[in-house]
Amino acid sequence: KGLSIMEMRKTPNKSKALRDGSTVDTVVVHYTGSMSTEGTLSWFGNGDAKVSAHYVISRSGRVFQFENWRTVLWHAGKSEWNGRSSLNRTSIGIELVGTYHSGFELKQMAALWVVLRDIYKELPIKYVLGHEQVSPGRKADPGPNFDWTYIRTQAESDRARRAIRHTATRQARPSSSNS
């Protein structure tokens, strides 16, 4: 099933410079710290917030997109991974509506996987990380209730399906021998 963006939004909380796809290799997963989708969408649209993300996924799995991946949005803040700092420049931010203790709904996780799969098709993503991994000691999201196993399982399953389709396609081609 393809990605269904429920609504495109704009945010003033972004850098002016655009980037190309070769520089974006990381996705940072966050929780909003709130159980309110509307509150999050409103806050990201407020210039006083100084924060935003490329996607917000509601508890029911509805997906909202702020800007496109070429736009550097302000989600990672002071961050570092693999010797690089200021990850806003090289990452896509995805916010899941929820808190440290709330956990996440299966519909949210399924929508997150669809968003990730679509991002993988466009960009050379190497890392899918939690904000807690790129800002240790400063951030705790997506927290202990985030199901990393679900994301890994979906990725492995998706790779297997692609390999099977690729193998089946190769076997279906007619032989070029003259026997």
Catalytic choice (95, 122, 132, 156): 95
> Does the annotation count 95 as an active-site position?
yes
Q: Is 96 left (phi over 0), alpha (psi -120 to 50) or beta?
A: beta
Cite the beta strand spans of 58-115 per DSSP E.
63-66, 71-73, 80-81, 84-85, 91-96
- Give 177: exposed, middle or buried? Use CB within 10 Å, 0-12, 13-18, 19+: exposed
User: What is the end-to-end Cα distance of the chain in Å, rounded?
Assistant: 43
Token digits of residue 85:
């700092």
**Residues marked as catalytic:** 95
